[in-house]
Amino acid sequence: MSSDPILKVEDVQVSFPVGGLGRRSAILGVAGVSFEVNRGETFALVGESGSGKTTLARAVNGLQEISAGAITFENQRIDELDRKAMKPVRKRMSMMFQDPVGSLSPRMTVGDLVTEPFRIHGIEGRNLREEADRLLTLVGLPTSFVSRFPHQLSGGQARRVGVARAIALDPALIIADEPTAGLDVSVQGEVLNLLNDLRERLGLAMVIITHNLHVVHHVADRTAVMYLGRFVEAGDTEQVFSAPQHPYTAALLSANPEPDPDKTHDRITLPAEVPSLLARPSGCEFHTRCPWAQSRCSVDAPERQVANGRAVACHFPLEPGARPPELAEKAAS
């Protein structure tokens, strides 16, 4: 894998106006996020619903204006481009949206759907039937599917059609938003294997967005965990999974453990709801839910500590195998 970044996101913020007449203010949906994605690499953005990951992905793809920071793709600054200038960029950076069936137009055949990107971008001189056959074969669907309609597809097949659309124009980067949402566990694995296989065969870079950490365990090279629009932990996926350093990462992992009959899992229950972006907690913004919180945490915001390619924003990073104080006490009694 080359270490040449294809995508560079630097201190990006996305703000949304709130309030009525005379009381207008703004909330930060993405509050200063930086990361790079290398060619041929899969980078995962993980967090609960409302953590800002989809907003960040839309900002990268030019669908959401940023209020600060810079986004560079294939050595071109793209955050300042207008809609027209973004069009060629979207050929090289395609986006797979959530909801496999709902994102496909119900009146178009599979053949028309997978070749629609050629029409949208005014690419002529291609035999669209041949292109449809090529794309369906690449995503593991029979070419006879060209005449089917979306309602005749299973969730997994619809997702494969979405993947075929995403790779139609030979992109360098795919951003996949919840690529396995709504699919059975066995089908989730098939879709992830397909994405991984295409990444290798076509030399793609990929950003996968999901609320479920385990979706990315075996396909992402690096993983970043988002909370209230910030990265709280980022690093090599294997390291993040085997020894999470941020309590929020540990809680996400424990909430959805990988099936393993030889292991028992401590479930870390997070108290309280996700705070509103309108009222961000003081100090460490996770302190209202953190089982490890200490008095310093509510007044003092942690700096990002970076070591050996890992970054964590916590005053008291977890040691491997750490248990929340409540569970450790229970085990000792």
List of residues contacting ligand SF4 (CB under 6 A): 246-247, 284, 286-287, 290, 292-293, 297, 302, 314-316
Residue with tokens 């085990």: 331
Judged by CB, which is closer to ligand SF4: 186, or 295? 295
Kindly state the smallest distance separating residue 329's Cβ from ligand SF4, in Å: 17
Kindly state the smallest distance separating residue 280's Cβ from ligand SF4, in Å: 13
**Crossing angle for the helix pair 128-138 and 110-120, to the nearest 10 degrees:** 110
Q: What is the DSSP letter of 198?
A: H
Kindly state the smallest distance separating residue 104's Cβ from ligand SF4, in Å: 41
Judged by CB, which is closer to ligand SF4: 120, or 306? 306
Kindly state the smallest distance separating residue 277's Cβ from ligand SF4, in Å: 17
User: Under 8 Å CB-to-CB from 310, ≥6 apart: which residues?
Assistant: 233, 234, 235, 236, 239, 240, 245
Judged by CB, which is closer to ligand SF4: 231, or 286? 286
- The span from the CA of 105 to the CA of 149, in Å, is 9
Residue with tokens 């309602």: 151
Q: What angle do CA 93, 190, 120 make, to 5 degrees?
A: 30
Judged by CB, which is closer to ligand SF4: 175, or 313? 313
Strand partners, 225: 46, 233
Kindly state the smallest distance separating residue 297's Cβ from ligand SF4, in Å: 3
- The span from the CA of 57 to the CA of 207, in Å, is 8
Judged by CB, which is closer to ligand SF4: 178, or 285? 285
End-to-end CA distance of the chain: 50
- The span from the CA of 304 to the CA of 312, in Å, is 5
Judged by CB, which is closer to ligand SF4: 53, or 287? 287
Judged by CB, which is closer to ligand SF4: 110, or 314? 314
* String of DSSP letters for 214-247: HHHTTT-SEEEEEETTEEEEEEEHHHHHHS--SH
Kindly state the smallest distance separating residue 30's Cβ from ligand SF4, in Å: 19
Judged by CB, which is closer to ligand SF4: 241, or 292? 292
Kindly state the smallest distance separating residue 275's Cβ from ligand SF4, in Å: 12
Q: What share of the chain is helix, strand, coil (3-state, %, to 5)?
A: 35, 25, 45
Judged by CB, which is closer to ligand SF4: 200, or 326? 326
Kindly state the smallest distance separating residue 323's Cβ from ligand SF4, in Å: 14
Q: Cα-atom radius of gyration of the chain, to the nearest Å?
A: 21
Instruction: Give the residue from 153, 169, 140, 199 showing the smallest Cα distance to 1.
Output: 199
Kindly state the smallest distance separating residue 262's Cβ from ligand SF4, in Å: 29
- Cβ-in-10-Å burial (0-12, 13-18, 19+) of 248 comes to buried
Whether the Cβ atoms of residue 227 and residue 286 lie closer than 8 Å to each other: yes
